[in-house]
């Protein structure tokens, strides 16, 4: 993600923040929102990764961990980071039955990756390598700053929009639009501001995911395992493995390798991820171009995904 797109994204989210501030307090409210947004941008740059990791209860792990699943996850991630020319990231685990993963941090020197317990339990070792290679690709591409700051500001926009709904119509006519007009505007911002924030996220997310898939396959040296992992994660996410923290913090959904939301309501309508079958097809083509001989598995459904005891991966 180049700097121009980064600044455009942050400017768009800041404008949304200012719009909600205007509906709450007129011109004064807009200026207060601007100052607050600038402060939040600065704070997010330095601390958003810590906020996200804390939100998901991420626990840092290393090679000395007694659990073989976690130990191998650490070893493989460190090895792939080294081969990709990246500094060693902080390696963490989040307690969630849904298999998923994300990366965060303002730059490669301050990066962290997170894998869920479900990912480590339900996928094979090769598939986990593919997923973590994808996350390291985000680090290598410096996507993580945009992903993390966007999650923080988009969440704040939703909160401010709700505040505008409850208090936006309370100004009198001398206060720049009270009464019925102010209430209508507050209702509109409460509905439209979160949607606009999601659209801004979507505008940069899809191409970023395809690129991370491509580079991740190169880092892992295996496009097939990443393709299988994407299909399994998609099936598990839709098959009753709810990510409770993601449902409570939907502004962070774009950070995960697969949309962690259950697909209720408008979750699918405003998904920040490209369709999984399109990503798998792109990886299949990449595998053919690289001379892969084994076919990528057919599309999986939740009923056909093996249970954790059947994964058959080399986890001895």
Is residue 53 within 8 Å of residue 112, measured between CB atoms? yes
The Cα-based distances of 288 to 124, 217, 298 in angstroms read: 22, 12, 16
The Cα-based distances of 247 to 55, 193, 230, 252, 270 in angstroms read: 12, 19, 20, 9, 14
Catalytic residue check, 135: yes
Which residue out of 135, 209, 224, 234 is catalytically annotated? 135
Known catalytic residues are 135
């Amino acid at each position: 993600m180049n700097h121009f797109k980064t600044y455009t994204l942050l400017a768009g989210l800041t404008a949304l923040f200012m719009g909600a501030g205007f509906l709450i307090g007129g011109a004064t409210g807009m200026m207060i929102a601007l100052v607050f947004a600038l402060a939040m941008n600065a704070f997010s740059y330095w601390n958003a990764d810590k906020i996200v990791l804390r939100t998901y209860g991420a626990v840092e792990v290393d090679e000395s961990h007694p659990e073989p699943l976690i130990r191998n996850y650490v070893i493989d991630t460190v090895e792939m980071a080294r081969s990709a020319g990246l500094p060693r990231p902080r390696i963490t685990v989040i307690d969630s039955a849904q298999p998923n993963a994300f990366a965060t941090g303002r730059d490669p020197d301050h990066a962290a990756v997170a894998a869920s317990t479900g990912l480590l339990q339900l996928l094979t070792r090769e598939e986990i390598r593919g997923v973590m290679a994808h996350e390291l690709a985000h680090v290598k591409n410096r996507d993580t700053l945009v992903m993390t700051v966007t999650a923080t500001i988009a969440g704040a926009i939703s909160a401010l929009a709700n505040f505008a709904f409850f208090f936006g119509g309370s100004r009198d006519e001398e206060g720049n639009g009270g009464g019925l007009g102010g209430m209508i505007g507050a209702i509109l911002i409460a509905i439209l501001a979160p949607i606009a924030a999601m659209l801004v996220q979507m505008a940069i997310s899809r191409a970023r995911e395809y690129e991370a898939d491509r580079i991740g396959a190169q880092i892992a040296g295996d496009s097939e395992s990443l393709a299988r992992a994407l299909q399994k994660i998609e099936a598990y996410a839709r098959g009753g493995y709810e990510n409770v923290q993601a449902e409570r913090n939907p502004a962070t959904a774009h950070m995960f390798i697969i949309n962690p939301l259950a697909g209720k309501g408008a979750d699918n309508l405003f998904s920040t991820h490209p369709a999984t079958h399109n990503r798998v097809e792109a990886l299949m083509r990449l595998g053919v171009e690289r001379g892969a001989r084994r076919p990528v598995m057919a599309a999986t459904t939740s009923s056909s995904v093996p249970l954790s005891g059947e994964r058959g991966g080399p986890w001895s």
